[in-house]
Amino acid sequence: MNDKLVDASEATVSVFDHGLLYGDGIFEGIRLYDGCVFKLDEHLERLEYSAKAIMLKLAWTRQEISDALCETCRANGLKNGYIRLVVTRGVGSLGLSIKNCDQPQLIIIADTIQLYPQEFYDNGLKIITVPTRRCNPSALPPAVKSLNYLNNILAKIEAQHLGYHEAIMLNDQGYIAECTGDNIFIVHKGELITPAASSGALKGITRDTALAIADELGIPWREANMTRYDVWVAEEVFLTGTAAEIVPIVEIDARVIGNGKPGPVTAKFLESFKRRVSIEGTML
């Protein structure tokens, strides 16, 4: 926390921290594979952009955050795991104003990760569309990875209430934005298509990796407005996210996708992704 390594039981924040009071802060979820932090620079860049967008002045350089992050992993003896990097607005008075919050708090949690069961990758995941709409980008830009996740949590509650693990969220025009914690892609007539950030999607780091894999595989890709119809009739659908990696989707809103099994294109993406995490990354 800030400049110190502290035991988890002593890692506490003030009840006056605006991160707690208002969800006023930003975060990143990052993976550690075999002692290497995957896409560290990309995550730190997104953190800087999130900070800029919410007018939070980071008191640390990218190098300082990177060093602290690696040190936290080493101190926990981790070789594989999940790192949660959190920056809160810091302690202020009871009120929305950020004027009295002059010291942002930096929190780095290095832990193990609860992965989706292997069955989801072998047999694919079934998802649904939920009623809760993704925040309008002109109200709260979904590109900001903010501590305020209530929008996604409400959607996740709806998904789980209906017995699903993940769900599609539409934007206020009815186009697909993303899932509650993952980006979405379809494969249709040889093309890879995903909603643009302007549709309400987070600019996922795994999403960018998937687009780089498409280039590597020679698969044309584009960003487009996507409707529920588009995903229902796609040959393949998959989700991307730091925790989920690449998950095949085999059913959406009770419509079977493709032949109901994870498709060959998704398998190629997953294979390339696994290769990338084992050879790319910042060594601890």
Q: What is the dihedral of CA 248, 208, 276, 34, to 10 degrees?
A: -90
Do residues 29 and 244 make contact, with C-beta atoms less than 8 angstroms apart?
no
Residue 169 to residue 226: CA distance in whole angstroms: 12
Q: 244: burial class by Cβ within 10 Å (0-12, 13-18, 19+)?
A: buried
Q: At what angle do helices 40-53 and 62-75 cross, to 10 degrees?
A: 120
Torsion-angle region of 61 (φ positive above 0: left; ψ -120 to 50: alpha; else: beta)? beta
| Residues from 41 through 80 that contact ligand PMP (CB under 6 A) | none
Structure tokens at 99: 């004027």
CB of 128 to ligand PMP, least distance (A): 17
Which window, 52-60, 65-73, 91-99, 200-208, contacts ligand PMP (CB under 6 A)? 200-208
- Binding-site member from 205, 226, 234, 257 for ligand PMP (CB under 6 A): 205
Taking CB atoms, the residue at the shortest distance from ligand PMP is 204
In whole angstroms, how large is the CA radius of gyration of the chain?
Answer: 19
Q: Does 29 bind ligand PMP (CB under 6 A)?
A: yes
Alpha-carbon distance of 42 to 128, in angstroms, equals 30
Q: Which is nearer to ligand PMP, 92 or 129 (CB)?
A: 129
Task: Choose the catalytic residue: 145, 156, 189, 274.
Answer: 145
Residue 101 or 185: the one with the smaller Cβ distance to ligand PMP is: 185
For the chain, what is the total number of helices (H) and then of strands (E)? 8, 14
Which of 88, 129, 132, 183 forms a contact with ligand PMP (CB under 6 A)? 183
Find out whether 168 and 125 touch, Cβ atoms under 8 Å. no
145 is catalytic: yes
CA 4 to chain centre: 27
**Is 207 a residue that touches ligand PMP (CB under 6 A)?**
yes
Q: Residue 32 or residue 101: which is nearer to ligand PMP going by CB?
A: 32
Q: Residue 249 and residue 152: Cα distance in Å, rounded? A: 19
User: Considering beta carbons, is residue 6 or 113 the nearer one to ligand PMP?
Assistant: 113
- Find the binder of ligand PMP among 152, 171, 194, 199 (CB under 6 A): 152
- Considering only 192, 202, 211, 234, the residue that binds ligand PMP (CB under 6 A) is 202
Residue 132 or 183: the one with the smaller Cβ distance to ligand PMP is: 183
Q: How far is the CB of 92 from ligand PMP (least distance, A)?
A: 26
Catalytic residues: 145
- Contact set with ligand PMP (CB under 6 A): 29, 152, 178, 181-183, 202, 204-207, 240-242
